[in-house]
């Protein structure tokens, strides 16, 4: 196995039982998974359709599929499943919709849809934080594979009991809409596979080998899904790193790594400890930091890379001074070494910390890309179009109906919709079905009745067109015929804004063009609902600004971590909840993104609620080996070298200005 180190080769070669690969940061885990897929197909003659590789992001799935494609002919990997947990759940339910009690073309509710339904179910006047609490409690119950009845039995507080009651009502509402939410995409397959051994047997035959990436990020429902699909044979490879488990706040359970050995006593463990990313000094610092966390399986990462420069630590006056120092350092290094801006990343604990950075970078004319802006699929015009697509695919999708019938505006107000809702409830049918009834239309004001009738006929016509047009062409036709494009034009203050918004709609059609598989607009809309902004994040040649959580899986030559002080990193909320270990893992992830040089900084003072407070350096700085650090301003000899570099860079910049 060319290009693999002994541990990687051993992980690829072991294909006769359950395997856990503990893969340290930068140890080549994706290479192991892709190579293993190739060996399963080439050497074991396992049909690609019998293999499923599961990732946590669409971006990771795309990269993995591309890597496999470079090693195999296209026809040799036909039928191979490489997707996220949610996409696998969607595939399962599209095949087994009858067993799940769903009609073909079911809808997937996004966060806004879910919030809208829950808001209706909560008492009038419920505050946003109550809504958030209830939504999170229901999501947690689903991720723990609890039914509404089980959630009620487990409830310990009045708020949890209230959430369990609303959970039951919420599920009844979803059933009426022929809809699911994201959590159902895992919960429902787990429930079905648990209850029906015949179904489990069919799917274990369908998927004979499973490979799961980033296993430390799995929640209880995802763990249960893998276990049910693998069965007692345990033909799987799970790859993970307990030191990079940073998503407990959204239900991830790093204990799942340890649970594997209890559920599968014959589990083989292989550690990948050679790091191919970081300079030795950075790696030593990372190892020293994470050694402060408890470990069931110890790892000792090592590297054959160069020693590297000391880690630079900046103590700054305030947030603005910190941002200015970071921007100046990036400018200095880029100019000195003639580097593209994409070699740099600035990482932070909270998104609000990016604001001073943006200003400082703008002043130096340094291009930057801020990750985590408004997701493409969350833009209003795009969501409007998707609601039309969903309704065309599934006339019983009430959430899609309510958005589509109001986008663009027509003579259908809230009073009309309330009457329509009463009629739908009386006949136990969807809003669309109620709107198709002549007797219902006759009860409405003439203008509203005519507008609603036009809307119904338009949806019917688009449904007919969906049988003959490609999804992309249907989308383009829908945008025109619905009046959405005209509405965009009418509400855009100038042509440049119109072109930008129209470009979003064109891009959506392009996504449909590129979407895999058939199944009509419903299935394609469902696939699009699983995509996230990060999956389409193309920053180009720009400095990356992102959260530490968002940096997972990425690497850069030069990394700056800002706000390394108590209350920020580790975060106050995590300290209150006793989650210092997870914050340390977050710091570890940030450090191990750096290939050549790492900068850490913090402001000595900060404004909070109009009051200036003093910041204490993070405890994590004290946990890093002192010999690996250069505290800028405390070492006269090293500081002198830096002053020469700064002076040279300043002269170079002045020369550029005079050229202009």
Residues labelled as active-site residues: 29-30, 213-214, 244, 593
Nearest to 184 by CA among 95, 257, 102: 102
For tokens 């505006």, the residue is 409
Give the phi and the psi of residue 154 in degrees, each rounded to 5. Answer: -90, -10
Q: Are residues 222 and 85 in contact, defined by beta-carbon separation less than 8 angstroms?
A: yes
Sign (positive/negative) of CA torsion 322, 326, 327, 329?
positive
Could you tell me if 570 and 584 are in contact, meaning their C-beta atoms sit under 8 angstroms apart? yes
Scanning the structure block, which residue is given the tokens 């040799």? 76
Distance CA 338, CA 482 (A): 51
| C-beta of residue 297 within 8 angstroms of C-beta of residue 611 | no
Q: Are the C-beta atoms of 401 and 408 separated by less than 8 Å?
A: no
Helix 520-529 vs helix 380-393: angle between axes, to the nearest 10 degrees?
Answer: 140
Nearest to 556 by CA among 583, 591, 602: 591
Coil, helix or strand for 532? Answer: coil
Closest CA to 182 of 266, 118, 107: 107
Answer for the pair 286, 629: CB distance below 8 angstroms, yes or no: no
Compute the distance between CA of residue 489 and CA of residue 483 in angstroms, rounded to an integer: 10
Q: What is the per-residue DSSP string for 221-269?
A: HHHHHHHHHHTTTT-EEEEE-GGG---GGGT--THHHHHHHHH-TT-EE
Tokens of 396: 């019983």
CA distance 229 to 205: 9
Residues 212 and 51: beta-carbon distance below 8 Å = no
Supply 332's token pair.
């200095």
Dihedrals phi, psi of 375, to nearest 5 degrees: -60, 145
Q: DSSP label at 408?
A: S
Whether 266 contacts 234, CB under 8 Å: yes
**Do 160 and 239 touch, CB atoms closer than 8 A?**
no
Instruction: Give the span between the Cα atoms of 68 and 63, in whole angstroms.
Output: 9
Name beta bridge partners: 600. Answer: 313, 561
Cβ density class 324-353: b for 16+ within 10 Å, e for less: bbbbbbbbbbbeeeeeebbbbbbbbbeeeb
Structural tokens at position 602: 């913090």
List Cβ neighbours of 563 (8 Å cut-off, separation of 6 or more).
322, 348, 349, 350, 353, 569, 601, 602, 603
> Could you say which DSSP state residue 352 is in?
G
Q: How far is CA 192 from CA 33, 54, 93, 97, 516, in A?
A: 28, 20, 10, 11, 26
């Amino acid at each position: 196995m060319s290009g693999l180190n002994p541990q990687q080769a051993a992980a690829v070669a072991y294909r006769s039982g359950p395997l856990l690969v503990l893969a340290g940061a930068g140890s080549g885990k994706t290479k192991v998974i892709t190579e293993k897929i190739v060996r399963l197909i080439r050497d074991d003659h396992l049909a690609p359709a019998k293999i499923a590789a599961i990732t946590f992001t669409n971006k990771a799935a795309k990269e993995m599929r591309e890597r496999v494609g470079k090693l195999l002919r296209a026809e040799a990997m036909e039928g191979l499943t490489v997707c996220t947990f949610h996409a696998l759940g969607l595939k399962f339910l599209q095949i087994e919709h009858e067993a799940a009690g769903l009609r073909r073309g079911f809808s997937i509710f996004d966060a806004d849809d879910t919030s809208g339904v829950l808001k209706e179910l909560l008492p009038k006047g419920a505050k946003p934080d109550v809504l958030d609490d209830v939504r999170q409690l229901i999501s947690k119950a689903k991720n723990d594979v609890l039914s509404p009845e089980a959630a009620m039995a487990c409830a310990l507080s009045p708020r949890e009991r209230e959430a369990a009651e609303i959970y039951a009502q919420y599920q009844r509402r979803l059933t009426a809409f022929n809809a699911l939410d994201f959590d159902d995409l895992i919960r429902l397959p787990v429930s079905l596979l648990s209850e029906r051994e015949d179904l489990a047997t069919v799917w274990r035959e369908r998927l004979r080998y499973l490979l799961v990436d980033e296993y430390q990020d799995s929640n209880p429902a995802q763990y249960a899904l893998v276990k049910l699909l693998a069965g007692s044979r345990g033909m799987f490879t799970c790859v993970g790193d307990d030191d990079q488990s940073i998503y407990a706040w959204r239900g991830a359970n790093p204990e799942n790594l340890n649970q594997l050995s209890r559920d599968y006593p014959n589990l083989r463990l292989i550690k990948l400890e050679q790091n191919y990313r970081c300079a030795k000094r950075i790696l030593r610092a990372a190892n020293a930091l994470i050694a402060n966390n408890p470990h069931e399986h110890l790892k000792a990462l090592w590297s054959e890379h160069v020693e590297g420069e000391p880690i630079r630590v900046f103590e700054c006056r305030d947030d603005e001074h910190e941002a200015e120092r970071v921007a100046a350092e990036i400018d200095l290094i880029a100019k000195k070494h003639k580097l593209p801006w994409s070699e740099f990343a600035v990482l932070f604990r909270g998104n609000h910390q990016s604001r001073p950075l943006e200003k400082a970078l703008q002043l130096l004319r340094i291009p930057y890309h801020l990750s985590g802006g408004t997701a493409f699929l969350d833009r209003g015009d795009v969501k409007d179009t998707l609601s039309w697509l969903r309704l065309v695919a599934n006339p019983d999708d009430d959430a899609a109906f309510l958005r589509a019938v109001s986008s663009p505006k027509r003579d259908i107000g809230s009073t009309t919709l309330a009457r329509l809702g009463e009629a739908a409830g009386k006949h136990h049918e969807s809003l669309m079905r109620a709107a198709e009834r002549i007797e219902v239309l006759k009860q409405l004001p003439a203008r509203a009745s005519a507008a609603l009738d036009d809307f119904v006929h338009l949806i019917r016509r688009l449904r007919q067109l969906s049988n003959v047009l490609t999804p992309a062409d249907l989308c383009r036709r829908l945008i025109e015929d619905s009046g959405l494009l005209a509405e965009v034009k009418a509400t855009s203050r100038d042509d440049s804004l119109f072109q930008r918004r129209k470009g979003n709609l064109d891009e959506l059609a392009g996504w449909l063009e590129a979407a895999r598989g058939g199944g009509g607009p419903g299935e394609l809309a469902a696939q699009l609902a699983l995509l996230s902004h990060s999956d389409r994040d193309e920053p180009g040649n720009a400095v990356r600004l992102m959260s530490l959580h968002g940096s997972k899986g990425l690497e850069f030559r030069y990394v700056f971590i800002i706000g390394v002080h108590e209350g920020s990193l580790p975060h106050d909320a995590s300290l209150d909840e006793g989650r210092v270990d997870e914050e340390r893992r977050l710091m570890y992830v940030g450090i191990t993104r750096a290939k050549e040089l790492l900068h850490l900084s913090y402001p000595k003072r900060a404004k909070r609620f109009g009051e200036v407070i003093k910041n204490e350096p993070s405890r994590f700085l004290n946990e890093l080996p002192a010999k690996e650090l250069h505290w800028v301003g405390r070492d006269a000899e090293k500081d002198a070298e830096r002053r020469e570099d700064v002076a040279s860079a300043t002269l170079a910049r002045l020369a550029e200005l005079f050229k202009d």
